[in-house]
Amino acid sequence: MNYLEKKEQKLINTFLKKGYVIGKVENKKSLNDINQLIKKSLLKLDIFKEKKIDLNKFHKINKIKDLNKDRISIINFINSDKKFRLNYLNLAREHLYAIAGNELMMQKNINLSIQLPNDKSSLLPVHSDVWSGDSPYEINLWIPLVNCFKTKSMYILNKKNYSHFLKQMKKKKIKSSYQIFNLIKNKIKFINIKYGEFLIFDQTLPHGNIVNDENQTRWSMNCRFKSIFSPYGDKKVGEFFTPITTRATTYIGQNYKHPF
């Protein structure tokens, strides 16, 4: 028996059918706070000389050789902000609750991706997070800081083609990411998503990016969430995840001492 509300069930059905959902951010103030934090980090690092910052044009002032160093500095800066993770959760809290549950674990540090046009050094070859030790019980909340489309975005294998993909993997004994991409390149979907929207996707599905052929820089963030009581992979509580929405009965159960 399933007692989910119709709105929740519709969302779940869409997620299971497609492998992802796109929605409008649930808290615009949280998105604005994150955007301002990113820009503050750029001013602090003296990357931009003026207060008017266009992230789409980042490639015009940043060199590829400096990109990873600057990206890590920005990641460290934004993750040190006390409200950053709460703001990130608030971007899609209700969707996360519906898909993963309302007692959640959240990745301790949120990732930032910056992909300059024609930059071959920032590629993320086709992969599934589960192949490298993540739990299949995790989902990924992906937030664009600019409009992302075509090669300026990420791609994901269409869910309906996943069963066929598994059969082909076993049949052809494919091992390299190059072979995998050639196997699925006609079945992948590039995510078309605007600033002010979010993507929640099933990270068991193969996904990645290719060279950004657009004339704008891509900025996006991603963070994994899972139910507190669902199975874990190699990434454990304290090391990678931390609880963020623990409920009263869980506290009671964790601290209960039997009198006999």
- Residue 172 pLDDT: 83
Distance CA(154)–CA(190), nearest Å, equals 6
Q: pTM for the whole thing? A: 0.96
Which residues does residue 243 pair with via DSSP β-bridges, in sequence order?
A: 105
Rounded Cα distance, 29 and 14, in Å: 27
**pLDDT tens over the chain, length 260 residues:** 889 999 999 999 999 999 999 999 999 999 999 999 999 999 888 777 666 789 999 999 888 899 999 999 999 999 999 999 999 999 999 999 999 999 999 999 999 999 999 999 889 999 999 999 999 999 999 999 999 999 999 999 989 999 999 999 988 888 799 999 999 999 999 999 999 999 999 999 999 999 999 999 999 999 999 999 999 999 999 999 999 999 999 999 999 999 99
* 127 φ/ψ angles, rounded to the nearest 5 degrees: -165, 165
**pLDDT score at 1:** 82
Q: What are the residues facing 20 on neighbouring strands?
A: 201
Are the beta carbons of 178 and 143 closer than 8 angstroms?
no
Distance CA 90, CA 94 (A): 8
Q: What angle, 0 to 180 degrees and rounded to 10, lies between the N-to-C axes of helices 93-100 and 6-18?
A: 80
User: Which three-class secondary structure state does DSSP give residue 107?
Assistant: strand
